[in-house]
Amino acid sequence: MSSGVDSVRDPLDNAWKTLRFPIIKPRELLLLFLKAGIAVSMLLIITLFITLYNQPFYPNNNHTTMKYMLQQKTPEEKASTNISHLLFGIGGSSATWQTRRQYSELWWRPGATRGFVWLESHPPDNTTWPETSPPYRVSGDTSVFKYTCSYGSRSAIRIARIVKESFELGLENVRWFVMGDDDTVFFTDNLVTVLSKYDHNEMYYVGGNSESVEQDVIHFYTMAFGGGGFAISYPLAKELVRILDGCIDRYAEFYGSDQKIQSCISEIGVQVTKEPGFHQVDIHGNPYGLLAAHPVAPLVSLHHLDYVDPIFPNTTRVNAVKKLITAYKMDPGRTLQKSFCYDLRRNWSVSVSWGYSVELYPSLRTSKELETAFETFRTWRTWHDGPFTFNTRPVSVDTCERPHVYVLDGVRNVDGDMTRSWYRKTVDASGKECAREEYARALEVQYVDVYASRFVPDKWKKAPRRQCCEIMDGADGVNSSVVRVKIRGCRRFESVTPS
C-alpha cells in the first residue's frame, strides 16, 4: 500500500478510536428498530413472491389441482413401475398373424401383460383368435392420409397411429405405451427394469437404433427403430396424439411408421433416450457375434429373428429363442451379460455371455478384444461387412486363433438364489480343430459350468459395470472335461488385467 493512501486513512482511523464507547439515544434506538422491521418485511415479501412464482400454474382450483400444488402423490403414483403399467401396441396383420404369433406368444403373458395386436381387418370368420395371443383390435381407416414414399407401404400410416388408438382407449394407470412389431420378442421383466429408471410423469421416448449404419443413414439416427420396440411415456403420448394425424400428412414421404412418429415427436422437442438393450437386429447371417457381445445393459428386445440364423445351432428359430428364454426366466437381469476371467496357471481366457455362450481361449486375451463382437453377420440392406454402429473383429481363418465356443445346454437353481448354467462344446464351423500341442488341454474341455447368484434388478439403476468371474478349478482339476466358473460382483480395484 502506498504511503499516500495511508496518510489519507490515518485521520479516519483516529476518529474511530475516539468513538470507542458510543452512547445510543432512545430516539436512535427506535429508528434502528424501525429500519430492521422494514428490512425483515421486505425479505418476507420477496420470499413469498419467489415461492408463488415457482408454483406450477394450474387454472382450476379443484381437489386434483390442490393435491399437485402440495406435491403429494397417491400410493398408486408412488408405486414403482410394474408390468401392469405398460400398454403394448403390436403392429400386426390378419394375413400373417398365424405365422407371426409364434414370436409374440413367446413373451405375451395372458392376465399380466396389457395391450393389443392391431390388425388391418377382422381375422377370417372361420378362425378363432388364439387365447395365447394378445387380444386384437382393428385399426381405423387410413385412406384419407397421404403417403408418398415410392418404395414403402401405406400400412406405415396404420402402424404409426397405433399409439394414438391405444391412447384413445383411455385405459387406467397406463404409464408407458410400448410399440413393437409382430416379430418383436420382448423381455418384459427387463423392459420394466429399464422403464422404471425414468419418471413416467415426464415426457420420454425410449428405444434404440439400427445396428447397420446404412439403415441409420437412410432412416434416422435420432429415431427409435420400431422393430426393436420403443416406449412413450403417458405425458408424451398425450401431446403426441394431438398432432399425430397432421404429422402423418406432413411427413408423407417417409417410409416407416417409426420415422413418422419420431418426426412428430421432434415437433414437441423431445429426443430419443437410447437404451442399448433394444435390438432391431438389422443384420443378416449368424447373430452369434451380436448376442455374445451384449453391452452392459439389460436385454430388452430382439427382432428380425426370421431373417438371421437360429440363435442356437442345430434347432429351429423359435426353439432357439425358447432356449434363451429358459435362461432368461431363471435370471432376467443377467441374460447375455458378459464376464471375463483368466486362468493364469494354464494361460487361458474365458469369456461368458450368461445364458448364451462361453468362449475359451488357450491364451491370454485382453478385455478390450473379448468385449468386441465377432463379425459373424452382414449389414441389413446391402449384405456388406459393415459398417455397424459398434466395432467388430473378424473371425480368423486360422482355427488356432479362434476360441472354442460352448453354447447353453441347460440352467437350474442351486441353493435358492444361485443358478448353475452349463454350456456344451460346439463343433467349429470349419469342422477342424487346432492341432497345436498347447491347445490339446483346452480341446479336452467339453463343458463349462457357470455358477452365479441372481442379478438384483436394482443394480441396473446404478452405474453399469461388467461383473467379474473366476475359474474355480486349477490346472489340477479332477475332471479335465469340465471348467467351472463363478460369476460375482467385482472387488474393489479388481480388473481384468493379466498379471
Ligand X SMILES: *[C@@H]1O[C@H](CO)[C@@H](O)[C@H](O)[C@H]1NC(C)=O
**Which positions lie near ligand X, rule CB under 6 A?**
58, 60, 62, 64-65, 76, 79, 82-84, 124, 126-127, 314, 346-347, 427, 447, 479, 481-482
DSSP H/E element including 104: helix 97-107
Is 395 exposed, middle or buried, given 0-12, 13-18 or 19+ CB atoms closer than 10 A? Answer: middle
The nearest distance, CB 426 to ligand X, in angstroms, is 8
The nearest distance, CB 214 to ligand X, in angstroms, is 35
Taking the C-alpha atoms of residue 112 and residue 229, their distance in angstroms, rounded to an integer, is 19
Closer CB to ligand X, 14 or 64, in the complex = 64
The nearest distance, CB 130 to ligand X, in angstroms, is 13
**Cβ–Cβ < 8 Å for 420, 451:** yes
The nearest distance, CB 302 to ligand X, in angstroms, is 23
Closer CB to ligand X, 65 or 96, in the complex = 65
Closer CB to ligand X, 393 or 424, in the complex = 424
The nearest distance, CB 43 to ligand X, in angstroms, is 33
Closer CB to ligand X, 174 or 299, in the complex = 174
* Residue whose cell numbers read 445346454: 409
Closer CB to ligand X, 390 or 447, in the complex = 447
Cα 212 to chain centroid distance, Å, stands at 18
Q: Give helix then strand counts, H and E, for the chain.
A: 15, 21
The nearest distance, CB 496 to ligand X, in angstroms, is 16
Query: Within a 10 A sphere around the Cβ of 64, how many other Cβ atoms?
Result: 9
List helix spans (H) across 272-388.
288-291, 317-330, 367-370
Closer CB to ligand X, 47 or 480, in the complex = 480
Closer CB to ligand X, 77 or 253, in the complex = 77
Among residues 223, 170, 175, which one has the least CA distance to residue 196?
Answer: 175
The nearest distance, CB 364 to ligand X, in angstroms, is 7
Taking the C-alpha atoms of residue 30 and residue 16, their distance in angstroms, rounded to an integer, is 24
Q: Cell numbers of 486, please?
A: 463363478
**Cβ–Cβ < 8 Å for 288, 357:** yes
Task: State the amino acid at position 372 in one-letter form.
Answer: T
